[in-house]
Amino acid sequence: MPVERLQRALEYSFVRAELLQQALTHRSYGSPHNERLEFLGDSVLNCVIASLLYERFPALREGELSRLRASLVRQDTLAEISASLNFGDYLRLGEGELKSGGFRRPSILADGLEAVIGAIYLDNGFDAARKSIERLFLPLLSRIDPKASAKDAKTELQELLQARRLPLPLYTLLATRGEAHSQEFEVECVIASLGVRATGIGSSRRNAEQAAARAAVEQVASQ
């Protein structure tokens, strides 16, 4: 398959075509192959995804950002993106791999995609790689619901306390402010046994409880 089609799909055109060729060459095919580029591309991908998540979700904590990143850069996700590019059609594989369907194997597809990212980074710098990654991952990034992630705060707090064999926290609605369509709720979360008292504000009682739980988790964790 001519690589022009792949370059169009990536919306990136290589200055040094040999870098793309190397990125598409599996070690079973010969040298120079894509393993070093994969090492580089994996790092660039991790960095760009971290940066995109950091900017998109200013309210998420480090642990949640790490979890999201791990889900985005894992082999299955990369293989899925590769499949949408018909990436397997462009790979150069050795006889054995070809016969055993290597162009469909998730590890080979994911590694190849990372190698292409590394090649773009070498060809045109970090920002070019960032643009391509953003384009490839936009559908996945748009699917992320930060509230779904924040939802875990109450569960997290509960598990934290249960692990210490402590009684569950008590949530109290302290105040409701504003008009019907833009109400603000303030909730207090008290863990009497630890002397922890945290408040949270949200656009619904549920969100305020989550925010309070989040603040309480931070207090408990730093005790």
Active site residues: 42, 114
**For the packed helices 126-143 and 106-124, what is the interaxial angle rounded to 10 degrees?**
140
- Listed in order, strand segments (DSSP E) in the chain are 170-177, 184-191, 196-202
Please report whether residue 218 would count as binding a copy of itself according to CB under 8 A. Answer: yes
In the bound complex, what is the minimum distance in angstroms from residue 2's beta carbon to a copy of itself? 27
Smaller CB distance to a copy of itself: residue 12 or 121? Answer: 121
x-or-dash pattern for a copy of itself, window 110-149, by CB under 8 A?
-----------x---xxx--x-------------------
Each as own residue / partner, the long-range contacts of residues 181-188 (CB below 8 Å, 24 or more positions apart, any chain) are 187/211, 187/212, 188/212
Contact set for a copy of itself, span 169-208 (CB under 8 A): none
Estimate to the nearest angstrom the gap between the alpha carbon of 16 and the chain centroid.
29
Please report whether residue 36 would count as binding a copy of itself according to CB under 8 A. Answer: yes
Please report whether residue 107 would count as binding a copy of itself according to CB under 8 A. Answer: no
Structure tokens at 38: 């994969």
The C-alpha torsion from 213 through 214 and 218 to 223, rounded to 10°, is: 10
Strand partners of residue 176 = 185
Q: How far apart are CA 208 and CA 161, in angstroms?
A: 20
Please report whether residue 38 would count as binding a copy of itself according to CB under 8 A. Answer: yes
Out of 3, 7, 21, 28, name the contact with a copy of itself by CB under 8 A.
28
Sites of contact with a copy of itself (CB under 8 A): 27-28, 31, 35-36, 38-40, 42-44, 46-47, 49-51, 54, 60-62, 65-66, 69, 94, 121, 125-127, 130, 218, 222
